[in-house]
A and B are shown apart, each in its own frame.
Chain A
Amino acid sequence: MTGATPQELDPTRIRADFPIFARQVHGQDLVYLDSASTSQKPQAMLDAMVGFYSTSNANVHRGVYTLGVESTDAYEAARDAVARLINAPSRREVVFTRNTTEALNLVAKTVGVERCGPGDVIVSTVLEHHANLVPWQVLAQATGATLRFLDVDDEGRLQLDELDAIAREGNVRIVAVTHQSNTLGVRPPVEELVRWARAQGALVVLDAAQTVPNRPVDVQALDVDFLAFSGHKTLAPTGIGVLWGREAILAETQPFLTGGEMIRSVALDRTSWNTLPWKFEAGTPAFAEAVGLHAAIDYLEAVGLDAIDAHEHAITEYALGRLDEVTGLRIVGPPDAAARGGVVSFVLDDVHPHDIAEILDRHAVCVRAGHHCTQPLMQRLGHAATVRASFYLYTTTAEIDRLIDGLHDVRRVMGV
């Protein structure tokens, strides 16, 4: 990836690669605006998995026979693809998990438990998805550490003015923050937070579930210690996610789950652990899903993550402009396209978001309505629920137009 202007991406051509867009809902072409929840899948990814199951399926790291060697190679090649995607210094730092949630729990329940105690401070933010909040709450309760949350302003921008006060409360051990809010699309000032965390000697855990899918993410440039993302939001299948962590930390950390795969040798009274990354991969891994993830990464890289980022920015700008035309509609989050990704939350007069989503469904427009697994954030912003539209590389302006038409119909049906 170079600094050159990204090649412009043609979402109409991209859609041809995604079989689901051939589908109709209620007799109309599908408008899928829920990619922040999970992405749709390109044929190339589906073919890779079918191909794997059809020709090379065998358990990994076991068989001496040809199929077992092929499947192990395919699984480990997926790890190399992930390492390349996020610019990991070493493949030993790439641990396959089920999803972001499991990756974050892994950190909290191993590194977290080992490094936190009474008098220590864990810092997170009110922006977080429950997956990057509950594990730290549980960790704080289990270890006696204090958990502090950075607040946001009324448009969801993270406030850093509490940091000095927090630093005086104890040893800050862990800073867990999202790279982009899945509810509002805002991107908090991670760089500043990382600098502060470094000065405190704290580890930084970055929830990149919303950014690895759609823009270049470089763990070395970010200078974080852990990063998590989910395959299913990244054009890949469900059941596979990634934890990237610094080798020096992972090497001296005790395992998360124990059993097969993660061992070197087992006697009845003692076990020695496997080397990295397998020490953190207990049991038969999701190797077919890893093959799918590899194909998904190949697809993303062929399109270009810079181009995807630029496309999402353009679509978001277009969507914000058009949503502004809808009477009674209020954006929840920053009203401009700067410093945000392809996610827009809104409310419409006092129409309940579930009613909006249900009426939009009659127009074959898929949006999410609810709290988006960010209840503390919703509470902070004073909403029980919002409607969320989220965009990806296959989102077109025509889809945004269908959303707007649908919203006008919501106003008509609900009589507002």
Chain B
Amino acid sequence: MDDLYRENLMDHYRHPRNHGTLEHPDCEAEGKNPLCGDEVELDVEVVDGRINAIRFTGNGCAVSQAATSMLTDLVQGLPVAEAAALPSQAIIDELGIPLSAMRVKCAVLGLGTLKVALHRGVGTPLPPEWGADDDEMVWG
């Protein structure tokens, strides 16, 4: 019955990868979903146009936190342009669980925060649907 809370997800939730902060990040941002109180803060270090290090801290539901943990694994070492272009589906696939529309917001909070951080820090393009604060996602 635990198809949502399967082991991989719970493992990332309980033991988040790349958890913490960086002393001198090149890119940083925080993302919040005020509707459910999920929060993520991301620090990224860029070397030679690639993500050399990434750390996050956060608070919220298992889906939002595990998805951000998986994301940090996924983008480690990627060229920033590639990381910034990562589609939501990449994270949803990574989670590998059925998600209702409401939970998709939780799943992509970390990804949105990463896109905002890279845009601010190294000027990667930010599609409008990720840039503007709407009533569900707020970037800080």
Contacts and interface: CB of A to CB of B under 8 A. Distances in A.
Contact of A384 (B5, B37, B63, B103): B37
B78 interface: no
B36 A370 contact: yes
Nearest to A371: B35
Interface string B23-40: 000000000001111100
Contacts of A375: 34
A408 interface: no
Contacts of B35: 370-371
A359 B5 contact: yes
Interface in B81-140: 102-103, 106
B61 A354 contact: yes
A314 B94 CA distance: 46
A354 B10 contact: no
Nearest to A359: B5
Nearest to B61: A352
Contacts of B2: 362, 413
Instruction: Identify which of B2, B5, B63, B106 gathers the most chain A CB atoms within 10 Å of its CB.
Output: B5
A358 B103 contact: yes
B19 to A, nearest CB: 15
Contacts of A352: 36-38, 60-62
A354 to B, nearest CB: 4
Contacts of A370: 35-36
B4 A362 contact: yes
Task: Place the interface of chain B in its size category.
Answer: 10 to 19
Interface string A4-43: 0000000000000000000000100000000000000000
Contacts of A415: 10, 14
Contacts of B5: 355, 358-359, 413-414
A354 B65 CA distance: 12
A369 B102 CA distance: 12
Contacts of B10: 413-415
Contacts of A384: 36-37
B4 A354 contact: no
A157 B34 CA distance: 25
B110 to A, nearest CB: 15
Contacts of A362: 1-2, 4
A375 to B, nearest CB: 8
B49 to A, nearest CB: 36
Nearest to B1: A362
Interface of A: 26, 352-355, 358-359, 362, 369-371, 375, 384-385, 413-415
7 contacts: A26-B1, A355-B62, A358-B5, A359-B5, A370-B36, A371-B35, A413-B5
- Give the 4 A-B residue pairs with the shortest CB-CB distance, closest first: A384-B37, A352-B61, A354-B61, A355-B62
